[in-house]
Amino acid sequence: MTERTKQNRTIAGGMGSILSSARQLWRHRVGDVKCLLRANQPGGFDCPGCAWPESRQATHLEFCENGIKAIAHEATHRRIDREFFARHPLSRLREQSHYWLEQQGRLSEPLYRNRHSDHYEPIGWEETFSLIGSHLRGLDHPDEAVLYTSGRTSNEAAFLFQLFGRLLGTNNLPDSANLCHESSGVALTEAIGTGKGTVTLEDFELADAIFVFGQNPGSNHPRMLTELEKASKRGCRIVSVNPLKEAGLIGFIDPRHLGATLLRRPTPISSLYLQPLVGGDLALIKGMMKVLLEREAQQVGRVLDHDFIDNHTQGFAACVRDLENTTWSQIESGSGLNRAQITQAAEIYLNAERVIACWAMGLTQQKHAVATIQTLTNWMLLGGNLGKPGAGLCPVRGHSNVQGDRTMGITVQPNPTFLEALGREFRFRSPQRPGYDTVSSIKAMAEGKVKVLICMGGNLAAAAPDRSYTEDALSRLQLTVQVSTKLNRSHLICGKEALILPCLGRTELDLQATGPQQVTVEDSMSMVHTSRGHRRPASPHLRSEPAIIAGMAKAVLGEEGPDWDELVADYDRIRTKIAAVIPVFRDYNRKIRQAGGFYLGNSARERRWQTPTGKAHFLVHPLPHPQSAPDQLRLMTMRSHDQYNTTIYGLNDRYRGIEGRRLVVFLHPEDMHTRGLEAGARVDLISAAEDGVPRRATGFEVVPYDIPKGCAGAYFPETNVLVPIDSYADRSITPTGKLIPIRLRPAG
C-alpha cells in the first residue's frame, strides 16, 4: 500500500463529511450559510446535484457533502473572463485536467472563438444570437443540427429547448440520459408500460427488504443513505450487490446527528453484501428466481404471488421454462457467486412481504443492460412486488432533472401523441423522423452529417465514449455552442467556430420582466417541485437558460412560433403551455405552489399496465457469455467520491482510501500477483475491443482492493478513451462503461 493510499473505509458520512464540506466552502470562500439553508427547502433552490427526492419531513439541513460541493463550486468567488482566455490559449488549456478546469470558477461573459484563433474573445449577446441564427438558417437540412441537453436543465428550459428544435424541424434532441438510464427506460417500458420507477419515499418506510444493485449511494446519492439507515434501524433487510465493497453500503453515520458523529457510531446498512463479477448480475438474478421456483415446488402456492401472476402478467410459463433449463453451474460461473450466497439473498426476498429493487449505472451500462433490468423485473413480478405499498422498482437517476427533461419532450423518439399536442398548441407540424441519440449524433458529426451542436449544459466531450473518436467528431463541426456555468473540456474541443454562453446557476436570482422567477424539476420518484435562486448572479452578463433559448429561437425562426419574450417574461406562461401539451401537468401553476409540489403518478404503481397486452410482461433473456482471454480483466468505470458525473471537485476518493490523484486502477491482490505487480506499480490499460482499434489509457497506479478476481475498477471520464463508440447496450445504445475487456501493460 502506497503512502497516499489508505485502508478503504467501512463507514460513510460522519466527521469526514463535515470536514470535507467545510474544506470546500473555505476553498471557494463561500460563507453564505443562508444559501445552504435554502437547499432543497420550500421556497429555496433544488440542489443541482443528484435526483434523489426530498423527504416529506424536511429538516433545515437537507443537503449532503456532494450537494455542498456543487453549491460551493457554483457560489465560488473565482471568475473566468476575457483576461483568462487572453492568458490561456485553447491549445494549452487542452493539456489541463478536468479537475484544473473545474477549479477556475464561473464563466462570466459570452465568449467567441473564430476558426483562425487559439483564444476565446468576448462577444455581445445579440451578436451571439445572430451568429447562431445565420449558421442554423444556412443548413441544408434541419437534421444537420443537434441540440443536446444535460440533466440539470429545468423543466421550463427543457420544454422551450425541445420546442425550438422541433420548430427548427428536427428531433435531434439527445440527452445525458442516453449515457446513463436509457437502458432502464427501454427495459421498463416494454415490461411494465412505463419507463419510470414505481416507488416513492414512503415505500422505503414500509419495505421489508431493499436490494441495491450496481449503485454506490455513499458517493452518488448520499441522502439515500438516510432512507437506508432508517430502514435498517427498523429491521428492513438490505442486500447490496456490487463488485466493489463500498463504504456507504456497509455503515453510515448521518453527519447531522452530532452524537453519533462524535461517538463514531455507525448504523450497519447491508444485511448481506454480494460481490458478483462485473456483468454477473443477470446470472445472479436468475439464480435467485431459481431458488424461488425450487421453494415453490416444496411449498406449492405459498412462495410465488399466483394471484398477481395470473391477473396481471403474461409470459410466466416461458420464464419458468427458461429457469428450469438454466443450470446452477451456468449461474455460478456467470455471476461469480456460489449457490449458497445466492440462496441467502433469495431467502431474504422470499421472507419479505414487500421488496424494493434499486439500481443505477452498474446495471444500465452493460452490453446486456436491458436484458438484465427485464430479468430483474421478472424476479419482482414473481413475488407480486409491483403496485403495492412498500414495494417496487427504483432506478436511481443521476443528475437532478434528468427525468424531468425527458418528461418535457427531450427525446429523439417522441411519442406521436406528444408531437400532435405540441403541433396543435404551437400551430406547426412537428417533425416525425426519429432524431440522433447521443452515440449516433457523434457518429453523424464524424461523418459530416451534422454541422451545428448546441449543448444546454453538460460536458459531452468528457462524458461520451471513445475520446479520440468523439473529439475528432466534435472538431469537424462548423459551430459549437455551449450554455454553461463553468469551464469544462467541451469548451476546448470545439467546432471551427465556438460560443460559450454563460448562464445562471440554480442558487442565483432569476429576474425577468415581471419579477423574480422560479423553475421546476422532477426528481427520481416523479415528484415535481419548484426551485428558486436568491443569490446575486456571478456576473451581470449572465442570462437564464429560458432567456438564452428564446434569444436563439428568435434569431433563427423570426416570427415563427410563440412570442418568446412573453414566455420568458413570466415562467408561469411557459408552464401554462406545458400544461396544454402534457395532460398530466394540468393546473401546473397551482400544483407547484402547494407544499412539496405534486406527484406525477405512475400507471404500474396502480397496476395499470400500459403495454400492448394490458399486462406486465415476463421477458426472458439468455445468460450472456462475455468472452475474455485469460489475461484480460473486466473493467468497470466509476466515479470517485470527489466527483459528480464529469465534474471533478477534488482529487480524493475518501471512502476508497485514495488521496490526491485519479489515475488508479483497483485490482484483486491475486490478479496483481499473477501479473507480478506490486501496489503502486504503474500500468497502462489497453482496451481489448473486437474492432482492433488500439485504445490506451496511460499511467495508472495499481491499488489492491476488495474486488472479484478478474475484475478491475477505474475512474471515468479518464477511462472513457477505452470504450469504442460502437460498444453500447443492446437496444438502449447506452455506451458500455461496464465490462470493458482490458489488458494491463507496464506504463509506456
Judged by the rule CB under 6 A, the positions of this chain that interact with ligand SF4 are 47, 49-50, 52, 63-64, 66-67, 221-223
> Shortest Cβ distance from residue 55 to ligand SF4 (Å)?
10
Strand partners, 653: 658
> Shortest Cβ distance from residue 50 to ligand SF4 (Å)?
3
Residues 6+ apart with CB under 8 A from 11: 247, 250, 251, 252, 253, 264, 266
Kindly tell me which of 63 and 85 has the beta carbon lying closer to ligand SF4.
63
> Shortest Cβ distance from residue 640 to ligand SF4 (Å)?
15
Kindly tell me which of 128 and 652 has the beta carbon lying closer to ligand SF4.
652
| Residue 60: strand, helix, or coil | coil
**How far apart (Å, rounded) are the C-alpha atoms in residues 294 and 384?**
17
Element counts in the chain: helices (H) and strands (E): 30, 31
> Shortest Cβ distance from residue 52 to ligand SF4 (Å)?
4
* Cis peptide bond N-terminal to 465, omega within 30: no
List strands edge to edge, sheet with 272-274.
Answer: 272-274, 237-241, 209-213, 355-359, 392-395
CB 89 within 8 A of CB 439: no
State the residue for C-alpha cell 424539476: 521
**How far apart (Å, rounded) are the C-alpha atoms in residues 95 and 678?**
30
Supply 485's cell numbers: 456555468
What single letter denotes the amino acid at residue 266?
Answer: P
**How far apart (Å, rounded) are the C-alpha atoms in residues 172 and 435?**
4
Where are the strands (E) in 396-485, listed by range? Answer: 452-456, 479-484
**How far apart (Å, rounded) are the C-alpha atoms in residues 461 and 747?**
25
Kindly tell me which of 63 and 609 has the beta carbon lying closer to ligand SF4.
63
Going from the C-alpha of 209 to that of each of 252, 505, 689, 736, the distances in angstroms are 18, 38, 39, 29
Supply 488's cell numbers: 469544462
Kindly tell me which of 397 and 406 has the beta carbon lying closer to ligand SF4.
397
Kindly tell me which of 64 and 503 has the beta carbon lying closer to ligand SF4.
64
> Shortest Cβ distance from residue 67 to ligand SF4 (Å)?
3
> Shortest Cβ distance from residue 69 to ligand SF4 (Å)?
8
> Shortest Cβ distance from residue 43 to ligand SF4 (Å)?
17
Kindly tell me which of 52 and 700 has the beta carbon lying closer to ligand SF4.
52
> Shortest Cβ distance from residue 36 to ligand SF4 (Å)?
10
Kindly tell me which of 25 and 742 has the beta carbon lying closer to ligand SF4.
25
Kindly tell me which of 217 and 737 has the beta carbon lying closer to ligand SF4.
217
What single letter denotes the amino acid at residue 56?
Answer: R
> Shortest Cβ distance from residue 158 to ligand SF4 (Å)?
18
> Shortest Cβ distance from residue 529 to ligand SF4 (Å)?
12
Going from the C-alpha of 498 to that of each of 89, 449, 454, the distances in angstroms are 14, 18, 10
Kindly tell me which of 529 and 634 has the beta carbon lying closer to ligand SF4.
529
CA 358 to chain centre: 14
What single letter denotes the amino acid at residue 119?
Answer: H
Strand partners, 740: 635
Supply 207's cell numbers: 419495505
State the residue for C-alpha cell 419532450: 409
Kindly tell me which of 226 and 719 has the beta carbon lying closer to ligand SF4.
226
> Shortest Cβ distance from residue 652 to ligand SF4 (Å)?
17
Kindly tell me which of 98 and 397 has the beta carbon lying closer to ligand SF4.
397
Residues 6+ apart with CB under 8 A from 440: 174, 733
Where are the strands (E) in 469-510, listed by range? Answer: 479-484, 497-502
* Most distant CA atoms of the chain, gap in Å: 76
Q: Would you tell me how many other CB atoms lie within 10 Å of the CB of residue 376? A: 26
**How far apart (Å, rounded) are the C-alpha atoms in residues 135 and 451?**
9
**How far apart (Å, rounded) are the C-alpha atoms in residues 472 and 515?**
44
Positive or negative CA dihedral for 330, 336, 340, 346?
negative
> Shortest Cβ distance from residue 411 to ligand SF4 (Å)?
23
> Shortest Cβ distance from residue 655 to ligand SF4 (Å)?
15
Kindly tell me which of 221 and 406 has the beta carbon lying closer to ligand SF4.
221
Whose CB is nearest to ligand SF4?
49
> Shortest Cβ distance from residue 578 to ligand SF4 (Å)?
23
Kindly tell me which of 38 and 166 has the beta carbon lying closer to ligand SF4.
38
Looking at residue 39, what DSSP letter applies? B
Kindly tell me which of 221 and 668 has the beta carbon lying closer to ligand SF4.
221
Looking at residue 658, what DSSP letter applies? B
> Shortest Cβ distance from residue 70 to ligand SF4 (Å)?
6
- Count Cβ neighbours within 10 Å for each residue of 478-501 and write b for 16 or more, e otherwise: bbbbbbbbbbbbbbbbbbebbbbb
Kindly tell me which of 47 and 160 has the beta carbon lying closer to ligand SF4.
47
Kindly tell me which of 9 and 397 has the beta carbon lying closer to ligand SF4.
397
| Residue 245: strand, helix, or coil | coil
Kindly tell me which of 67 and 657 has the beta carbon lying closer to ligand SF4.
67
Phi and psi at residue 545, to the nearest 5°: -60, -45
> Shortest Cβ distance from residue 490 to ligand SF4 (Å)?
22
> Shortest Cβ distance from residue 485 to ligand SF4 (Å)?
16
Residues 6+ apart with CB under 8 A from 82: 109, 111, 121, 122
Supply 17's cell numbers: 463529511
Treating both helix axes as pointing N-terminal to C-terminal, what angle do 339-350 and 281-298 enclose, rounded to 10 degrees?
A: 60
